[in-house]
Chain A
Amino acid sequence: MNNAIHIATREYAENARTKGFWINMLMFPIILLLSVKVPKLLEEKAKPVRQFALVDQSGLLGDIVRDAVERDYARLVMEKIGTYAQTYAKDKAAVSAETLEKTAMPSDFAGRVKEFMDYNEELMQQMMSPEAIEMQLSMIKPSLVEDAPEFEMPRRRYDEVDLSGLTGADLDLATAEPSEIVRALRPALVDDERLEGMEQPLFALIVIPPDAFEQILDPSIGNMANAPEPQDGIQFWSTNLTDMALSNLIERALDRELQKREYVANGLDPKQVSLIRSTTFQFSAFDPKKKEGEEAVSVADTMRKWAPVGFVYLLWVAIFTVVSFLLNNTVEEKSNRIIEVLLSSATPWEIMVGKLLGIAGVGLTMMTAWVLSLLGVLKFIAGPEVEWAGALFEVIQSSGLLPLFALYFVCGYLTYAGIFLAIGSLCNTVKEAQNFMGTATVILMVPLFTMVFVAQDPNGALATFLTWVPVYTPFVMMNRAAADPPMAELLGTGALMLVTIVFMLWLSSRIFRIGVLRTGQPPKIVELVKSLMTPLNHQ
């Protein structure tokens, strides 16, 4: 067995020195870090100020659009003041796991409040005045650390372009056909030419026709049949079909204005209506499995329900990363004929065990690094914008998912390591090995395709069925871990998985023995089965 340990040590040392190992190990924390930091950076720095042109022929709705853009900026400023206050607060009100356990899942109440604010323009405008901002900042000042920098006003997201005089004398914006306006501005929209004084293409053009109030959709029966044509209504022109934020913003504001007028026309006070619309029942979810008195479904419960999905993904990536190391190493030893020297020094079984152990060590090292960096990023680097991150980690820690993760990694690894080792022993090049695996890869992807569905219905038919397929058991069981699958199933599939692992390792050791000394093309399946049936002294 000493030899198995020597082989394992060498495998570990060699793989731990490869670039691939370090890339894999560092990639995860780097991606994690980037996914926390980059969107914010992009939002703040990289995303350009979107410049739009507005042609309002109705004479009524243009200011509604401008107000909406202003309010959007106001909300951004308030958000930034909040972040600023949290970032430089003397006592950071960290969100703890305990608070998450007690916090009920928020309903859409926040959204309602926002809508209410939108109907209360005066309130919004009051909060937005420079004086109001100055006052807010001076109010939070005492709770900030001494060396906090000055608050910087964020950049605007959207800016209106002044069109007067830009489109030429022969076009009167107030009376021109929408198609004519579009024709005039199309070069700027598709970036064939820039409007005077603009450093970037025109992001969007909004054209509001004079009879906009007649071009409306009314869901009452009988009106849908003669709905207006799109080109007769309000038009939003932009080459960017993915960033819908501005078009949504404007559409919402215009619709609200329309609805407001309808309320008034029907003798209703829009403010009253908005207040009514924002009134809701107290509606909460409860979990009968929880302790009496604490059954309300909390944020922590929801995290626990979804955390396994993340673990399944990690498990999958980790297992297939390390078994591919195993495959490559075996192919290398075979094509270099090093295997012959090894076979003269150790039994095939020792070689196999050594390789399995060595690569398992590589995998565990990588996973430990991942988990530690997850902890590090969540705890120390994430910052106020993901204040729940530390709590998330505590929830994960307390949920007992980590030991299960380690267990299922070992089981999954042993199931697949044997298969990959056997494939490696039959092939002379990595390319050959990839061909050999062929469609098998699709079968291996199943746990990834199904992980969200399994999390949604963790004890349902699909989950149960997949659990009984031994090669999927580790992944699906991880996936279902938070949902307490029935004990009988747990034990049954566990036993089946163990039997499978033992059988796979036994089979692989047979294939390995035959495979490593073969030369030439990998055998056909039929040939392989045939040679597995032949006693060793006739092979």
Chain B
Amino acid sequence: MSSQDALILDGLTKRYGDFTAVRDVSLRVPEGSIYGFLGPNGAGKTTTIRMVLDIVKPTSGTLSVLGQPTAMAVRERIGYLPEEKGLYKKMKAWAVIAYFARLKGVSGKEAKQRAHELLERYGLGAFADKKVETLSKGMGQKVQVLASIAHKPDLVILDEPFSGLDPSNQQVMEDVISDLNKAGSTIIFSTHVMSHAERICDRILLIAKAEMVFDGTIEQAKALIPRLVRIGGVEASRLRSLPGVGDVMPSEESPGVFEVVVADGHDPQEILRACMREGIELSSFESGEPTLHDVFLHLVGDDAKVAAYR
């Protein structure tokens, strides 16, 4: 076991009776990284997180959290934001943050001070003395995020931190994550929105139907799917004759445009140069990076939809 890994999962499995929620998940989260748990709803992300936090016991498999076999032993170094958000409605915003910090071993005075600092820094200074029930949903969620990190945890686990936030608050959330990461924390968060993961994750775990589908960097993930260029104004047969061109399919969205798979070992520039050399007049040439969303659909495909409706 490397001390460089904040979290190591080995063959982690959770069964509820006949139902398997998580099957044989193994991974390493390096210290100081931002790690995304991606997958459709019901894939097993939350169960995995609960096992990591020692809230539910794994049926089999082992784990190491900050070098310890259970999270309870290092709970003061872990911050957790659950998927379903909720706070004590009758407490004041600062008091909620301070309370959860105290449970993580921060002294009373320090906890109060940090609560006020955090509220100030993330634009909620004016609401510090307001009761939670009077805050808007978004503000309440921000307070809860702050409550989960006020003790300066080494490992932060955020379950769906972006859900329910408007775009500007989603940006604040991204800022919180990158601030924490800069301060040296390891961050694990789950989401089913790929764009967030793509922007801020170093590594991702893709999980579907209780099983892990992929674990690695974003580049590695994108390399999994063939690169596509979209070319317009030319016959499919001529395209096929060009070097570096793999499959050619007519685009479903725009007639006259073909989606061309770039063959292994080639890149889109090569195809463009070949077109120029051959004197082919193109009406359009689009070469986009594949998004994580494409990777997701490619790897999970129809399962995602099935899972989403369950």
Binding site for B on A (CB under 8 A): 2-3, 6-7, 10, 14, 17-18, 332, 335-338, 340-347, 517, 536-539
Contact = CB atoms under 8 A, between A and B. Distances in A.
B72 interface: yes
Contacts of A517: 50, 55-56
A321 to B, nearest CB: 18
A15 to B, nearest CB: 10
Interface string B63-105: 0000000011001001011111111111100000001101111
B90 A17 contact: yes
Nearest to B72: A347
Given A14-B91, A538-B59, A6 B99 contact: yes
B88 A338 contact: yes
Given A6-B99, A345-B100, 13 more contacts: A3-B103, A6-B102, A14-B91, A336-B87, A338-B86, A338-B87, A340-B50, A341-B147, A343-B55, A344-B53, A346-B75, A517-B50, A539-B57
Nearest to A10: B99
24 contacts: A6-B99, A7-B103, A17-B90, A18-B90, A335-B86, A336-B86, A336-B88, A338-B86, A341-B82, A341-B100, A341-B148, A344-B53, A344-B75, A344-B78, A344-B82, A345-B100, A345-B104, A346-B75, A346-B103, A347-B72, A517-B55, A517-B56, A537-B57, A539-B56
A7 B88 CA distance: 13
Nearest to B58: A537
Interface in B1-44: 15-17
Contacts of A17: 90
Interface bracket on B: 35 or more
A229 to B, nearest CB: 69
A536 B57 contact: yes
A337 B59 contact: no
Contacts of A537: 57-60
Nearest to A343: B55
A343 B147 CA distance: 14
Contacts of A342: 103
Instruction: Say whether chain B's binding surface is mostly helix, strand, loop, or mixed.
Output: loop
Contacts of A14: 88, 90-91
Contacts of B104: 345
A341 B143 CA distance: 13
A341 B84 contact: no
A3 B104 CA distance: 8
Contacts of B148: 341
A6 B103 contact: yes
Contacts of B60: 537
B79 to A, nearest CB: 8
Nearest to B90: A14
Given A6-B102, A14-B90, A340 B57 contact: no
B148 to A, nearest CB: 7
| Chain A CB within 10 Å, residue with most, of B56, B78, B102 | B102
A485 B246 CA distance: 96
Contacts of B78: 344
A17 B89 CA distance: 13
Nearest to B84: A337
Contacts of A3: 103
A246 B210 CA distance: 84
| Chain B CB within 10 Å, residue with most, of A14, A332, A341, A346 | A341
| Chain B CB within 10 Å, residue with most, of A346, A347, A537 | A537
Contacts of B80: 340-341, 344
| Chain B CB within 10 Å, residue with most, of A2, A335, A337, A338 | A338
